[in-house]
A and B are shown apart, each in its own frame.
Chain A
Amino acid sequence: MIGGLFIYNHKGEVLISRVYRDDIGRNAVDAFRVNVIHARQQVRSPVTNIARTSFFHVKRSNIWLAAVTKQNVNAAMVFEFLYKMCDVMTAYFGKISEENIKNNFVLIYELLDEILDFGYPQNSETGALKTFITQTGIKSQSKEEQSQITSQVTGQIGWRREGIKYRRNELFLDVLESVNLLMSPQGQVLSAHVSGRVVMKSYLSGMPECKFGMNDKIVIDKQGKGGASEEAAGKSDLGGSGGGGGKQSIAIDDCTFHQCVRLSKFDAERSISFIPPDGECELMRYRTTKDIILPFRVIPLVREVGRTKLEVKVVIKSNFKPSLLAQKIEVRIPTPLNTSGVQVICMKGKAKYKASENAIVWKIKRMAGMKESQISAEIELLPTNDKKKWARPPISMNFEVPFAPSGLKVRYLKVFEPKLNYSDHDVIKWVRYIGRSGIYETRC
């Protein structure tokens, strides 16, 4: 298991050092600094073995987190733990920075003591931790409070405490998708996938039992065969306004769930039921590859005129309902390293050559569906004797659209709380769809 955990600043100075196992000594702290932090670009793997000691590291802004071990540990678990550690710290004191870590080092030690015991990760749900690691000095808790804390930390529903009350029961669902594309210069889709998340913010009283439904092809097909329409009643509840039009159901390649979701039930019946944590949580992640609505198409044209000049023309076409608006559109056209000057003409938005980034950045605030826009640029090059050809990195794009490119729709989210007197109808529900560009690239 994890033998020790160190946090360093960018210079390699130790900010936090917690050793869990005897086989990890102080020299391990230095070994990592010398061999990884100070090695600059030489280190090419997040797992490093130095003198039979393994170091796992992740970096957040300029802070290094390193877990150290001498055993054959579960590597995936160590990284998951390090990410979790970052989440917990962010939840407690915001951004992970040298300043914040130094200011909260006592808290961090307390957290490390709690969530890692002898190198074994323990309950690390922020909701639970915040009930008893407070840094406001010890309150004299009553016996009931104490046992409530311990039963929550160790309990089956470790992410939610009992006795939550709201005057208004409300929940917000955000379907956040990032659409990824790699297209050949000829317009052939080399790979495209959507990775989506359903984020739920809930303000519900008691221990509400929730059931979530979406237009999952497997579920819809099953119902179609059975003819039963138990769910159909709830269908009108939360119909989203997708941009894709008449798509009835979508094929989900794979999905993963927050630990509150009953996985065996999903496996057996493909129904998503859970008791949510209070406040915000990421309910599920999913991935689709079929019938993706690609919101934009980029058509590049690059011509080399002699050895010192390039002509670039890029057309973008929006491909969704004309009534919808895309926002924050940005097209990034890479330029060679030996560029000496650029002249740009665009019909819409603003375009600028940014020498420091070696790219022309073209920004458009808004763009409706089924439109097209164009930019052309002349790039002057300095003559070089570099034998190597310019690598022509792909043209990348950023945008935000108000629909889910995968075609996913929320069909219902039902809430049951048998012990309290509010029903599904009393809960106010909001659904929002946001599609963003992930890595959206077209080779040129």
Chain B
Amino acid sequence: MTDSKYFTTTKKGEIFELKAELNSDKKEKKKEAVKKVIASMTVGKDVSALFPDVVNCMQTDNLELKKLVYLYLMNYAKSQPDMAIMAVNTFVKDCEDPNPLIRALAVRTMGCIRVDKITEYLCEPLRKCLKDEDPYVRKTAAVCVAKLHDINAQLVEDQGFLDTLKDLISDSNPMVVANAVAALSEIAESHPNSNLLDLNPQSINKLLTALNECTEWGQIFILDCLANYTPRDDRESQSICERVTPRLSHANSAVVLSAVKVLMKFMEMLPKDLDYYGTLLKKLAPPLVTLLSAEPELQYVALRNINLIVQKRPEILKHEMKVFFVKYNDPIYVKLEKLDIMIRLASQANIAQVLAELKEYATEVDVDFVRKAVRAIGRCAIKVEQSAERCVSTLLDLIQTKVNYVVQEAIVVIKDIFRKYPNKYESVIATLCENLDSLDEPEARAAMIWIVGEYAERIDNADELLESFLEGFHDESTQVQLQLLTAIVKLFLKKPTETQELVQQVLSLATQDSDNPDLRDRGYIYWRLLSTDPVAAKEVVLAEKPLISEETDLIEPTLLEELICHIGTLASVYHKPPSAFVEGSRGVMHKRLPARTGSGEGTECPDVGNAAGGSAPEAAPSIIPSQGDLLGDLLNLDLAPPTTAGPTPSTSGMQMGGMDLLGGGLDSLLGGDIGGSPAMGAGFGAAPAVMPASLNAPVGGGLGDLFDLGGGVGMPMGAYIPPKTVWLPAMKAKGLEISGTFARRAGVIQMELVLTNKAMSVMTDFAIQFNRNSFGLAPAGPLQVLTPLGPNQTIEVSLPLSTVGPVMKMDPLNNLQVAVKNNIDVFYFSCQYPISMLFVEDGKMERQVFLATWKDIPNDNESQFQIQDCHLNSEAASNKLQGSNIFTIAKRTVEGQDMLYMSIKLSNGIWVLAELKVQAGNPNYTISLKCRAPEVSQCVFQCYEAVLKN
């Protein structure tokens, strides 16, 4: 039988011929014809015209033919929905067939026919098949529910299939369980809050039992599902880990990786001093190493994952350096990944070996690999201080090879080594300068120029070298141009006499002949600095640089945590969160590692722990979906420059003549006032690139202090300030965490924010905007974050608020939607402010007015509340409330019960009248509130409760 002939028919009139054959009486001929149709379909020919003829062949007892027809149907039903209906009858009939294989085939195929009209007919047969006596049919039906959900989610819910599917998790057959888990997990992804999987200790136990019995694929489905569960405590976590570890010896690498995912996640919850914790760490290493003897494609997946694991828990593989040595025959993608991991594992103990290897790699053929190897040597030098000397000499050896790309790569990393170990290896500069001509890549040229500029005083012909670059200034890339500008200014500051001409030349090139705004601005800044105060210029441009940190390419901790939850999946291969490459909402839920519980560690971050897998409802604060009007407001925000932008660059530079630039300044520079004022110097940042921002530092600091002062002065006693809560977790805001509270101080409403940078890059340009809200709250001034917020830094800011902004009723009433912008993105969150912020100081009503008003407000507007467990007497309560501008007007005692009458005035002029009943010895108060706008009563009551209990 040579079916390959079907691939070669390309005659004209083919369709017509096929039609005739399909309608032939002979069974064999029919089958041959269908095969031809499928072959044409495969190579991409359109054979949809044959639809009715093919469907006619469906009624057959030949299973092979039937399968072919079904295959055709799945492909073309969508384009011929009306015709597809013709097939329904056969499906329904097949679902009743005595042969389970045929029943399963029918239900499997029906689910793949994505035609709305057909899906209606599918429900009844599917319901039967889900309860079929044969496990083969049930496991097929379970997947069919997921198919149907993909076509029509509402239908699945209405028909109650989800419950039937949930029941299948307790099925006696492990494969049915596995498919049901797979189907439910998929459906749950599109309903992040539905708690569909309903993972609890009982269902987890069932899954763990099925895990031992089902196929390798089923084990993967179950393990991936388990990884979404968050155990209640460390003991449960340990017991699950114990039952998952045997999977580490499975021959299927995917089973192993999924087991590793579960273990890595649940390990978070185990106390580190537990013996079991250490045992588990030890058990993880061998299977990970074994993954490296799998086929190369799997090795690649494994290596990408190991890269994450090594960053999260370096202790697991720290002794396994050798297995990551590159083999000559490894595919290039495996080589590159191994190299990455080698550097991550490099330490003082193994550095000698690693360096010998890297040197070996640097002589290989593949250019990318060689480059990476050279770069790796530099990274080793930076990471392991003891090895720096050897690394530098190895790099010098490599430079001697004169291989163009090796030299360039070496120069780039040597620049970094200089940054890490200043004044140590500068003797090699001479060798570097010899290779100036061979540099043709921007990065290498920029690095070399930086070196020349930085060490200009030690290079005799620095001016000549830089001048040679200047000739083709406009053809260079921006990176090189910027470096050249800075380097020449450095040179000038170091050797002012000989290089005046050069610096003028570069400044005019940068400011007058360039279209690049970065270049132009940097040019002007230098220009102004040099012309106004050369001493300051020296301190700015030649400031001491902070040392660069050891590891430069670590994944941000929040992203790393998320990726650890995705071990084995594409996300872990790409090192990107699923949202970066998956369309729509499916599977985009952020996953997080569970928080450690148990053994007295407490729950420091309450909002991390309760994310019960992918399905728990998000804890407050909720994130606002971008709303139309909010977006509009934010556009304004972008346009209006924050007042913190620092001194506006003077435009006068434009008219400034090139010649008088160095007039007065030069003398003082030559005067040799090199000492400078250290206090000033300290305030300035290092690299020119961040200079504009750091310039603000001293000014900003002062302003901030001033505001703090304002906040501290004249605070009336006892005003209630709720404790700070996290409004915007770092997960949601690319590393920016915002917590805060509201306070009313001296009649000014203030929003007190704590901004924490949990990302790895500096944040600047903060600004804030509110959405319209019930009481017209709006920022009274800009957000005063004047210094850039470095990684792991925290800053506290008070933002005065006014109540004259646009008004829109919110639900709940005291809800406030906020947008915060920084240099990275715009983030949205919402928070609730205590309404007591809005109680104004002149809220004390005259007694008579009070009585009249009380009577005047209809009784429908009165609401009663109970405050429980309050142990204050009426006197203390009254004092406490007064602190928050709730004024007691009268008090009377009836039968041992104190009745307090109070008044409150809101910032928008609404009056609230209250009657508080306090009975001695009874901790429960009764409060009645009367107001013309009864909506506020609930909020006011909450304030009472908050104030009295704090």
27 A-B residue pairings within 8 Å (CB atoms)? A26-B44, A44-B332, A46-B296, A71-B570, A74-B569, A80-B254, A80-B298, A81-B217, A105-B6, A106-B35, A113-B70, A118-B111, A120-B143, A120-B217, A123-B175, A124-B215, A150-B101, A154-B135, A154-B173, A154-B175, A256-B290, A263-B246, A267-B245, A285-B293, A387-B401, A439-B328, A441-B327
Q: Which chain B residue shows the least CB distance to A284?
A: B251
A99 to B332, CA, bound (A): 30
Residues of B within 8 A of A287 (CB): 286, 289-290, 293
Could you tell me if A253 and B286 are in contact, using CB atoms closer than 8 angstroms?
yes
One of A54, A104, A146 near B570 (C-beta < 8 A): A54
A150 to B141, CA, bound (A): 14
Residues of A within 8 A of B38 (CB): 105-106, 109
A258 to B39, CA, bound (A): 36
Residues of B within 8 A of A254 (CB): 249, 286-287, 289-290
Residue-by-residue, is A56-90 near B (CB-CB < 8 Å gives 1, otherwise 0)? 11100000000001111111110111110000000
One of A71, A83, A106, A150 near B587 (C-beta < 8 A): A71
**Main SS of the interface on chain B?**
helix
Could you tell me if B582 and A72 are in contact, using CB atoms closer than 8 angstroms?
yes
B371 at interface by CB-CB < 8 Å: no
Residues of B within 8 A of A339 (CB): none
Could you tell me if A76 and B213 are in contact, using CB atoms closer than 8 angstroms?
no
Residues of B within 8 A of A72 (CB): 566, 569-571, 578, 581-582, 587
Task: Please judge, given known A-B contacts A74-B254, A105-B3, whether A110 and B67 are in contact too, CB under 8 Å.
Answer: yes
Binds A, one of B50-58, B360-368, B637-645: B360-368
Binds B, one of A134-142, A206-214, A363-371, A412-420: A134-142
User: Measured between C-beta atoms, what is the minimum distance from B327 to chain A in Å?
Assistant: 5
A260 to B142, CA, bound (A): 25
Cβ < 8 Å to B, chain A residues 225-275: 253-259, 262-264, 266-267
User: Measured between C-beta atoms, what is the minimum distance from B84 to chain A in Å?
Assistant: 15
List 6 tightest A-B contacts by C-beta distance, closest first.
A102-B4, A254-B286, A150-B136, A76-B254, A267-B246, A77-B254
A45 to B140, CA, bound (A): 34
Task: Please judge, given known A-B contacts A75-B572, A76-B298, A389-B401, whether A49 and B581 are in contact too, CB under 8 Å.
Answer: yes
Residues of A within 8 A of B140 (CB): 117
A392 to B298, CA, bound (A): 29
A336 at interface by CB-CB < 8 Å: no
A115 to B98, CA, bound (A): 22
Could you tell me if A113 and B290 are in contact, using CB atoms closer than 8 angstroms?
no
A292 at interface by CB-CB < 8 Å: no
Could you tell me if B4 and A150 are in contact, using CB atoms closer than 8 angstroms?
no
A264 to B254, CA, bound (A): 18
Residues of B within 8 A of A17 (CB): 42, 44
Could you tell me if B286 and A77 are in contact, using CB atoms closer than 8 angstroms?
no
Could you tell me if B258 and A52 are in contact, using CB atoms closer than 8 angstroms?
no
Could you tell me if B568 and A156 are in contact, using CB atoms closer than 8 angstroms?
no
Could you tell me if B61 and A138 are in contact, using CB atoms closer than 8 angstroms?
yes
A185 to B572, CA, bound (A): 38
Q: Which chain B residue shows the least CB distance to A110?
A: B67
Other contacts beyond A118-B147, A138-B63: 20, CB < 8 A: A46-B296, A46-B297, A47-B573, A49-B574, A80-B216, A102-B3, A102-B6, A106-B64, A118-B144, A122-B215, A146-B100, A153-B136, A155-B173, A190-B357, A256-B256, A257-B251, A259-B215, A259-B251, A264-B243, A287-B293
Residue-by-residue, is B234-263 near A (CB-CB < 8 Å gives 1, otherwise 0)? 000000000101110111111011100000
Task: Please judge, given known A-B contacts A52-B581, A150-B101, A154-B176, whether A46 and B333 are in contact too, CB under 8 Å.
Answer: yes
B811 at interface by CB-CB < 8 Å: no
Task: Please judge, given known A-B contacts A15-B42, A79-B295, whether A190 and B301 are in contact too, CB under 8 Å.
Answer: no
Residue-by-residue, is A382-393 near B (CB-CB < 8 Å gives 1, otherwise 0)? 000001110111
Could you tell me if B3 and A76 are in contact, using CB atoms closer than 8 angstroms?
no
Cβ < 8 Å to B, chain A residues 20-54: 20-23, 26, 29, 44-47, 49, 52, 54
A16 to B402, CA, bound (A): 50
Residues of B within 8 A of A156 (CB): 174, 213-214
Q: Which chain B residue shows the least CB distance to A45?
A: B333
Residues of B within 8 A of A285 (CB): 251, 290, 293
A396 to B64, CA, bound (A): 51
Residue-by-residue, is B254-275 near A (CB-CB < 8 Å gives 1, otherwise 0)? 1011100000000000000000
Q: Which chain A residue shows the least CB distance to B337?
A: A45
User: Measured between C-beta atoms, what is the minimum distance from A207 to chain B in Å?
Assistant: 16
Could you tell me if A103 and B3 are in contact, using CB atoms closer than 8 angstroms?
yes
Could you tell me if A56 and B286 are in contact, using CB atoms closer than 8 angstroms?
no
Could you tell me if A391 and B363 are in contact, using CB atoms closer than 8 angstroms?
yes
- Of the listed residues A58, A71, A72, A191, the one surrounded by the most CB atoms of chain B closer than 10 A to its CB is A72
Q: Which chain B residue shows the least CB distance to A23?
A: B583
Task: Please judge, given known A-B contacts A54-B570, A110-B64, A267-B246, whether A80 and B252 are in contact too, CB under 8 Å.
Answer: yes
Could you tell me if A150 and B403 are in contact, using CB atoms closer than 8 angstroms?
no
Residue-by-residue, is B813-843 near A (CB-CB < 8 Å gives 1, otherwise 0)? 0000000000000000000000000000000
A402 at interface by CB-CB < 8 Å: no
A117 to B186, CA, bound (A): 14
Could you tell me if B220 and A77 are in contact, using CB atoms closer than 8 angstroms?
yes
- Of the listed residues A15, A109, A117, the one surrounded by the most CB atoms of chain B closer than 10 A to its CB is A117
User: Measured between C-beta atoms, what is the minimum distance from B75 to chain A in Å?
Assistant: 8
User: Measured between C-beta atoms, what is the minimum distance from A347 to chain B in Å?
Assistant: 28
Residues of B within 8 A of A69 (CB): 570
A138 to B102, CA, bound (A): 11
Residues of A within 8 A of B134 (CB): 147, 150
A80 to B217, CA, bound (A): 9
A372 at interface by CB-CB < 8 Å: no
Could you tell me if B2 and A103 are in contact, using CB atoms closer than 8 angstroms?
yes
A21 to B7, CA, bound (A): 25
A162 to B545, CA, bound (A): 76
Could you tell me if B68 and A106 are in contact, using CB atoms closer than 8 angstroms?
yes
User: Measured between C-beta atoms, what is the minimum distance from A263 to chain B in Å?
Assistant: 4
Q: Which chain A residue shows the least CB distance to B302?
A: A76
Q: Which chain B residue shows the least CB distance to A43?
A: B333
Cβ < 8 Å to B, chain A residues 178-213: 182, 184, 190-191, 193, 195
Q: Which chain A residue shows the least CB distance to B322?
A: A191
Task: Please judge, given known A-B contacts A79-B297, A138-B61, whether A118 and B143 are in contact too, CB under 8 Å.
Answer: yes
A153 to B108, CA, bound (A): 16
Q: Which chain A residue shows the least CB distance to B353?
A: A190
Q: Which chain B residue shows the least CB distance to A256?
A: B251
User: Measured between C-beta atoms, what is the minimum distance from B420 to chain A in Å?
Assistant: 29
Could you tell me if B179 and A106 are in contact, using CB atoms closer than 8 angstroms?
no
Q: Which chain A residue shows the least CB distance to B332?
A: A44
Could you tell me if A45 and B300 are in contact, using CB atoms closer than 8 angstroms?
yes
B150 at interface by CB-CB < 8 Å: yes
A127 at interface by CB-CB < 8 Å: no
Could you tell me if B570 and A387 are in contact, using CB atoms closer than 8 angstroms?
no
A264 to B212, CA, bound (A): 8
One of B63, B245, B296, B325 near A190 (C-beta < 8 A): B325
B765 at interface by CB-CB < 8 Å: no
User: Measured between C-beta atoms, what is the minimum distance from A398 to chain B in Å?
Assistant: 13
Residue-by-residue, is B96-110 near A (CB-CB < 8 Å gives 1, otherwise 0)? 001111001000100
Residues of A within 8 A of B364 (CB): 391
One of B62, B108, B287, B298 near A117 (C-beta < 8 A): B108
Could you tell me if B71 and A109 are in contact, using CB atoms closer than 8 angstroms?
yes
